[in-house]
Amino acid sequence: MRFHVTVALTAPVIATAAGYLAGSIPSADIANRLARSGVGDLRTAGSGNPGALNTATVLGTGWGAAVLIADMAKGAAAGVLGRAIAGPVGAYAAATASIAGHIAPVWSGGRGGKGVATSAGACIAVFPAYFPIDAAVAASAAVSRRNAERTISISCSAWVAAALLWWHRRLPNAWGPPPTAGLPLFALTGSAMILTKFRTARRPA
């Protein structure tokens, strides 16, 4: 009995750690090195954000698309891995942690991207019912620098509202885990991290 209790408590922690590590993979930095463009650090070039949009601006559209796909894959992989380790609890915990890993990776002193693409990828794995809406809003934000923060704010509000609805009504979640309390917690925590990052990024240094 004690062994099973220990495993039940430990598995979600392992899933969370795995999700964070997956999210912290520096996709933009890797692209910058592979491009061999002479750009020293994407954090000091363009907008200064190590994400897909700034990568596209500094290195070219192709590299930007590659980083977008990689960042989404990190979130999706984290959700799948977390579910394999600790079921629905692990899926939601790892998906949330992947966003944290992308925004505040330990490898670069916490100077990561804004987490939008990673959150979209995480939704593919743990909240696929909402993903089409999430993808549309993320794409809109990617092509609208001036209104990106406002768009993301609306998206995050819709994300949290949808998660609460799916959890409360126990609506079908396609191939994702059953809607539990972890779903609105994932949406709420992920939204808070992304919005905080956006607001911090626009403050003058």
Opening angle at CA 174, ends 87 and 142, nearest 5: 100
pLDDT of residue 205: 43
| Region 139-152 average pLDDT | 66
pLDDT of residue 73: 97
User: What's the length of the chain?
Assistant: 205
* Nearest residue to 19 via CA among 135, 150, 126, 141: 126
Domain that residue 46 falls in: 2-201
Q: How far apart are CA 25 and CA 41, in angstroms?
A: 16
Number of domains making up the chain: 1
Block residue for tokens 């930007």: 64
Per-residue pLDDT at 138 exceeds 70: no
pLDDT of residue 27: 94
36 vs 180, residue with greater confidence: 180
Longest dimension (CA), the chain: 58
pLDDT of residue 102: 97
**For all residues of the chain together, what is the average pLDDT?**
87
pTM: 0.89
40 vs 151, residue with greater confidence: 151
194 vs 133, residue with greater confidence: 194
pLDDT of residue 17: 97
pLDDT of residue 140: 63
CB atoms within 10 A of CB 84: 13
Is 194 within 8 Å of 114 (Cβ atoms)? yes
Q: How far apart are CA 170 and CA 173, in angstroms?
A: 9
| Region 163-169 average pLDDT | 96
Q: How far apart are CA 169 and CA 61, in angstroms?
A: 41
- One-letter identity of residue 55: T
pLDDT of residue 204: 47
DSSP string, 126-137: H-TTTHHHHHHH
Is 28 within 8 Å of 63 (Cβ atoms)? no
Q: Which residues contact 41 (CB under 8 A, 6 or more apart)?
A: 32
pLDDT of residue 50: 85
Q: Could you tell me the pLDDT band of residue 137, with boundaries at 50, 70 and 90?
A: low
